[in-house]
A and B are shown apart, each in its own frame.
Chain A
Amino acid sequence: MIDLHSVSFRYRQDWVLREISFQIRKGEFIGVIGPNGSGKSTLLKTLCRLLTPQKGEILLDLVPLKEMSQGEIARKIAVVPQEAYSLFPFRVIEMVLMGRSPHLGRLMFEGARDLEIAKKAMEWTETLPIGERLIDELSGGERKRVFIARALVQEPEVILLDEPTANLDIHHQVDFLELILNLNREKGLTIAMASHDLNIASEYCDRLILLQGGTIFKIGSPREVITRANIEKVYGCRVWVDENPISGMPRITLLKKGVRSVLTEV
């Protein structure tokens, strides 16, 4: 689906991404993890050409991203932003319909079919009842769901999420991730998500990429990536990794500095 061939990117001086190569497979749920400044957000931004790498190549369905128009990319890849405030507030339905933009001609108005697509996406994300509200009157969780609806309306093949659960309480975190998982499992959408929450990443993703200083430290299944050795090395803090007793996926526990226990001495 998306191939990266030794992609390097820098803003001004220092390389933020160095020689990154991997493949995102069609229909997978891939997570990007790593400490602050390891290049997670930058990596996601290169995938939708918000940033263009100085070196290397990104192929989307075997076509170089560089050679595609912004509209072509937007018809295949949708981004759920962390936050997006409109200077002058639109209604939720108008905001969702903006996702049709890459499919519309310059001046075209959204028609009955576009409205139908929007309504379906809003039903799916449970935003239909708030369709008439103004976007800046919503809570953080509601706004997130509106942006998912907008991404769905784009009818993409890939959805990129940058820190989707930041600022959400645990109830909304679970709701939101279940929604994403459904899109992945039922609609076959490819999902790439950058996250700081290692337990969530471990629980929901098929594969994880662990970044360190702009390079791939480890890529593989959560079991392969989330190990005590990997996490302690990359994040530079002590953790305890065991198995989530219910799902069987790796689970991380943070350790207070100076804590000594039988377990950590293992």
Chain B
Amino acid sequence: MKILTLKKVITVSFLLAALLVLVILFSVMVGSVKVEPKHSVSILVQSLLGLTETGTEMERTIILSLRFPRALLAGLVGAGLSVSGAVFQALLRNPLADPYILGVSSGSAVGAIIAILLGLSALSFGLPLASFAGALITIALVFYFGKQEGKIHPNVLLLAGVITGSFLSAIIMFLLSISQKEELHTILFWLMGNFSFANPRAIGIVLPYIGAGFFLLYWRSRHLNLILSGEENALQLGVDVERLKIISYLSASLMTAASVSLCGLIGFVGLIIPHSVRLLFGPDHRLLLPASALIGASFLIASDTLARTLLAPVELPVGVITAAFGGPFFIYLLRKRKVVKTL
């Protein structure tokens, strides 16, 4: 009988990481401004290795300051949303859960819209900071509302999250209705999600959240398997369930908040990537979490590459691509493989 081994996790992760590298290289090679693919790769590799610089000044700017940071940010966000989606599905025991289900996204949108309306978006990190603050306040509120007698009940938390989210949506609609035309465009662009904000500093900001969140969750991955059969079940098998829930919810929420604050609301990734990975590799979180991170990263980088090249020089919102390509692919997987029983 075959069981999951560390060797399998490492092998699969290594192969998926190789795929990710290929996707990053591809995304660096294509774009609205033509740079010879061979040049793109050599500029990137040489600069990463700290070797002599080749290419023209413009080529170097396009590759090193635009395309590469953008691919990295898309990758981080794809990984963050996929992992937090997988964890929310397990903790809430709800296959429809995604990273935005507890209202984090709406809170971050309110923060971002207020920043835009107040003109804070002109400051270098005004927009992401305001949006991150909005997300944090929402997380605090939802956990405050969702706790009963000091314990987190999934359904109570879910309701608290959904209702807080609806309330915040009302605020969003109000703010939209009082916005001027120019602001409205900025707001809509942000709401639809995009990676035009990418730069090395942005990556430096989001990386610690995604990285730390991932390790905190991966450290608990075996216990997340047990909680899939219910909290009592996990408790009987020796898991300190309340601690597991608090740390996992907060890690996943912070990963979401950090992702959303830099690139707006990119839908769908956090819902379909975990499900697709489960259909491919099974539900064990010890493999599910790293595989979701790597596949989510590749998927979002590829989607963003399409979004900026498909109708170049016009840039599509990346959410259009994630939904348009991810949706049918997911349906295909669902039809071909064993369906999640509860769906």
Chain A residues with a Cβ under 8 A of chain B: 48-50, 69-75, 78-79, 81, 84-91, 93-94, 97-99, 101-102, 104, 106-110, 115, 119, 131-132, 134, 136, 154
Contact with B239, one of A85, A87, A101, A107 (Cβ below 8 angstroms): A101
Interface flags for B4-22 (1: CB within 8 Å of A; 0: not) read 1110010000000000000
Q: Which residues does chain A contribute within 8 Å of B232, judged by CB atoms?
A: 50, 81
Tell whether B70 is near chain A: CB-to-CB under 8 Å: no
Known: A81-B236, A97-B3. A86 touches B229 (CB 8 A): yes
A-B interface pairs (CB < 8 A), number: 100
Binds A, one of B55-63, B109-117, B187-195, B213-221: B213-221
| Cα-based distance from A85 to B94 in the complex (angstroms) | 13
Asked if residues A74 and B90 are in contact (CB atoms below 8 Å), the reply is: no
| Cα-based distance from A97 to B239 in the complex (angstroms) | 15
Asked if residues B283 and A88 are in contact (CB atoms below 8 Å), the reply is: yes
- Please name the residue on chain A nearest to B243 by beta carbon: A70
Chain B residues with a Cβ under 8 A of chain A: 1, 3-6, 9, 89-90, 93-95, 218-223, 225-226, 228-230, 232-233, 235-241, 278, 282-284, 286, 338, 340-342
Asked if residues B228 and A88 are in contact (CB atoms below 8 Å), the reply is: yes
Asked if residues A109 and B5 are in contact (CB atoms below 8 Å), the reply is: yes
Asked if residues A93 and B341 are in contact (CB atoms below 8 Å), the reply is: no
Contact with B228, one of A73, A87, A104 (Cβ below 8 angstroms): A87
Asked if residues A90 and B225 are in contact (CB atoms below 8 Å), the reply is: yes
| Cα-based distance from A119 to B1 in the complex (angstroms) | 9
- Please name the residue on chain A nearest to B9 by beta carbon: A109
The 7 tightest CB contacts between A and B, nearest first, are A74-B238, A102-B238, A88-B283, A71-B238, A79-B236, A86-B229, A84-B229
| Cα-based distance from A50 to B237 in the complex (angstroms) | 11
| Cα-based distance from A101 to B234 in the complex (angstroms) | 9
Asked if residues A101 and B237 are in contact (CB atoms below 8 Å), the reply is: yes
| Cα-based distance from A131 to B2 in the complex (angstroms) | 10
| Cα-based distance from A70 to B278 in the complex (angstroms) | 29
